[in-house]
Structure 1
Amino acid sequence: MTQPFTDDLHPALPYPGTRPDACFVHLDGEGWPVTPDPSTDSGWRVAPDGQDLDDWLADQGEPPLAARMPVLAYGSNANPAKVTWLREEMGLTGPAVVLRARCEGIAAVWAAGLRARDGERPATLAAAPGVVEEHAVWMATADQLRVLDRCEGRGLRYRLVRLHTGRITLFDGAEVDSVLAYTGAGMRRMPLLVHGVRVRCSEVDQRRARGLNGWAADTDGLDLTPVLGDPSPDDWPDRLFVYGTLQPGGSHWSLLEEHVEGRPVAVTLPGTLHDTGRGYPALRPGDGPGVPGHLVRLVAPEAAFPVLDKYEGDEYRRGRVVLPDGTVSWTYLWGESVEGLPVLPGGWAV
């Protein structure tokens, strides 16, 4: 699919509505497919012209992916018409970036209570060992997350958590660990048990779900950490790929060392390293000989990044990249053209 689609192709009712068969961006009642491309700054391109998603967002005056947070959408939030409703009724601004995801070990199940405004039965999330479902991940700005908080009734109907159960994989191979998610906060949003069994939304439609009789489960079985306050895009992921002077043994390792927990791991990032001729390298992700470096886990990213961002300066920008095993990591990407810069096949002397 390379053409735009409109909301009428994906009605919101009956809940949870239908979803496009592609990752997409959505703005003003129209959606465009998005496809993975690791050679771009964002890792994604927008149809039909194949523009880098970050550039497309910048054209709308909106933040790039690195300034957005992954939020699991397993109910109506993956429906384009619902996105328009959020704009009209809840004040959502800016493009919605919605990426399809393979979800293992978790499932959308019907909740115990009905929605007050229309009597439909909403979905909630539960652990489901051995189950594989396809859902979506919103890449939400801080403002968009506050809109989702109001829509989901954060703290009343649903609670915002970091989810540790299951495995969530985007279509670019990225493993989204500790994804933000809205899970049941009260008994009416806990999983419905019918004859002691949770009922998956994929197996029973809304018409039949409204007529189900049962009781609320005591637990959703999820391993999670409740989120207090407003999360920051810097909070995820808690890993950083370093390939130059910030590596262990490098001239500026001391800037990073106090923020690292555990041992650095030697890894290779797909991409190319160029010699800027200025005493520091230029990294471009994607195809290439591969860039050797180290992966470190940060104790508190929000404390480390102000120091590291200042050190890297305006010539670099911090972005998220995907390692060969699916691990998502921050790294510092060269912000200027690499045309004419020599390739450094053996890495960088630190």
Structure 2
Amino acid sequence: MTTFADADYPAVPYPGARPPFSYVHEDGGGLRLEADQAALSGWRVEGRDLDGWLAERDWSPLADRVPVLSYGSNPCPSKIAWLRSALGLTGAVVVLRVRCSGLAAVWASGLRVVDDQRPVVLAAVPGAVEDHAVLMLTPDQVAVLDRCEGRGERYELAAVSTGTVTLIDNGAVFDRVPAYVGAATIRKPLLVNSFPIRCADIPQAAAVGMTGTPAPTDGLTADLIKGTPPPTDYPSTLFTYGTLRPGDTHWHLLAPHANGAPLDAHLNGSLYDTGHGYPALALGIGPGIHGSVVPLVPGTDLTEIDEYEGENYTRVRVVLTDGTLAWTYVWTAPVAGMPVLTGPWRR
């Protein structure tokens, strides 16, 4: 059962319409998502954990998806439907609302060949605050977006450090979020009287007739991404609360991947004493968990740590109490009979 149909949010005029909420898109429409820190995925659809809903359909969980900041037509359900029919996109697309500060969608200097409409491009605009979306995409879905955006020609995929990108529903802050940024001259910001023009200020009907000059730069601090970005790079931190913490028994597994000093951090949830020399983490309601957030070296392969944690733990993205988005390992086996720990795992 869909919350909405694709036709409720048409793609014309570009950049199209989008729902005022986070959603998961499947063939024909989408379902609204609700943030829930107690869910493994961090989200619920029709009252169920989104990861469980995805698994029933043999679709990838959020931990195996790459966040891509989308500020143009890609968050539009009708555009996603077009990607399915025209470019072979498959599986669910998860679309999360974000608020961007210091970033804006501005009109590009050239027109689209397919329909002579003016596309948008991302630019640094100090003081701007705009609502856009982060698409959580599988590597195969990123490959479809690469073809659509003309990666390597019209746009490049880059990790953007400019501004702030915050999930509206739960306050999580993305660090160096990937986005398609203008590469060709026709995808540089259009300058009219020396200033870029925000899509939010001028509609397509007026923008298509504007004249000006291509900007020499979009003002972004961004690092080009080579190949398909690995999901494990986003986020670039790991929250530890047990044997992987600095000074504990298995810190040596994580220490080679640390990209700087670990910092004290807190997560909403509860720790249980398994009785086996390591704690179990349950998300959501509880006294709160004190731990360490460890910055990771870019490109860190977490396979060894995944294997060390074993089958009773699942690596997921969580939002720390200060808004930091981090990986952590959540206990997925029963906790019945385990005592709740009211302080740190070890003092």
Output aligned runs, 1:239-258, within 5 Å.
Answer: 239-258=237-256
Q: CA deviation at 1:349?
A: 2.8
- Indicate conservation of the 8 Å contact 1:315/1:336, yes or no: yes
Equivalent residue letter for 2:152: G
1:208 aligns with 2:175: no
Give ranges in structure 2 of 5+ residues lacking alignment.
none
Output aligned runs, 1:181-200, within 5 Å.
Answer: 181-200=179-198
Q: CA deviation at 1:340?
A: 3.6
SS in 1 for 2:141: helix
Equivalent residue letter for 2:215: A
* Greater displacement, 215-224 / 250-259: 250-259
Relative distance call for 1:341 and 1:104 in structure 2 (3 A) is same
**CA distance in 2: counterparts of 1:259 and 1:163, whole angstroms:** 22
Q: CA deviation at 1:262?
A: 1.8
**CA distance in 2: counterparts of 1:331 and 1:217, whole angstroms:** 42
Instruction: Tell me how large the CA RMSD over aligned residues is.
Output: 1.3
Aligned mate of 2:60, from 63, 74, 81: 63
Deviation per residue, 1:151-178 (Å, 9 max, x gap):
0000111010000001000021100111
**CA distance in 2: counterparts of 1:185 and 1:300, whole angstroms:** 24
Give ranges in structure 1 of 5+ residues lacking alignment.
none
Q: CA deviation at 1:276?
A: 2.1
**CA distance in 2: counterparts of 1:259 and 1:196, whole angstroms:** 45
Output aligned runs, 1:128-139, within 5 Å.
Answer: 128-139=125-136
Q: CA deviation at 1:125?
A: 0.7
1:9 aligns with 2:39: no
**CA distance in 2: counterparts of 1:277 and 1:299, whole angstroms:** 33
1:345: which partner in 2? 342
* Greater displacement, 277-286 / 166-175: 277-286
**CA distance in 2: counterparts of 1:19 and 1:151, whole angstroms:** 19
2:232: which partner in 1? 234
Deviation per residue, 1:89-113 (Å, 9 max, x gap):
0110101100000000000000000
Q: CA deviation at 1:301?
A: 4.8
SS in 2 for 1:135: strand
Equivalent residue letter for 1:27: E
Equivalent residue letter for 1:106: L
- Indicate conservation of the 8 Å contact 2:266/2:290, yes or no: yes
Deviation per residue, 1:10-59 (Å, 9 max, x gap):
0000100001011000101111110111011011111xx31111111111
Equivalent residue letter for 1:335: T
Q: CA deviation at 1:278?
A: 2.9
Aligned mate of 2:116, from 115, 119, 122: 119
Q: CA deviation at 1:249?
A: 1.3
1:280 aligns with 2:278: yes
1:23: which partner in 2? 22
1:262: which partner in 2? 260
**CA distance in 1: counterparts of 2:25 and 2:264, whole angstroms:** 39
1:315: which partner in 2? 312
1:104 aligns with 2:101: yes
Q: CA deviation at 1:307?
A: 1.7
Q: Would you say how many aligned residue pairs link Structure 1 and Structure 2? A: 346
Q: TM-score, normalised by structure 1?
A: 0.96
**CA distance in 2: counterparts of 1:301 and 1:64, whole angstroms:** 20
Aligned mate of 1:54, from 41, 51, 55: 51
Q: TM-score, normalised by structure 2?
A: 0.97
Deviation per residue, 1:268-327 (Å, 9 max, x gap):
211101122333211012221011111111124533x12211211111111111111110
- Indicate conservation of the 8 Å contact 2:2/2:29, yes or no: no
- Indicate conservation of the 8 Å contact 2:62/2:136, yes or no: yes
- Indicate conservation of the 8 Å contact 1:238/1:301, yes or no: no
- Indicate conservation of the 8 Å contact 1:54/1:64, yes or no: yes
**CA distance in 1: counterparts of 2:82 and 2:335, whole angstroms:** 43
Relative distance call for 1:99 and 1:183 in structure 2 (3 A) is same
SS in 1 for 2:91: coil
Q: CA deviation at 1:77?
A: 0.3
Q: CA deviation at 1:3?
A: 6.3
1:299: which partner in 2? 297
Equivalent residue letter for 2:342: P
2:40: which partner in 1? 41
Relative distance call for 1:72 and 1:300 in structure 2 (3 A) is closer
Aligned mate of 1:331, from 322, 328, 345: 328
**CA distance in 2: counterparts of 1:337 and 1:88, whole angstroms:** 43
Q: CA deviation at 1:226?
A: 0.6
Identity within the alignment, %: 53
- Indicate conservation of the 8 Å contact 1:108/1:124, yes or no: yes
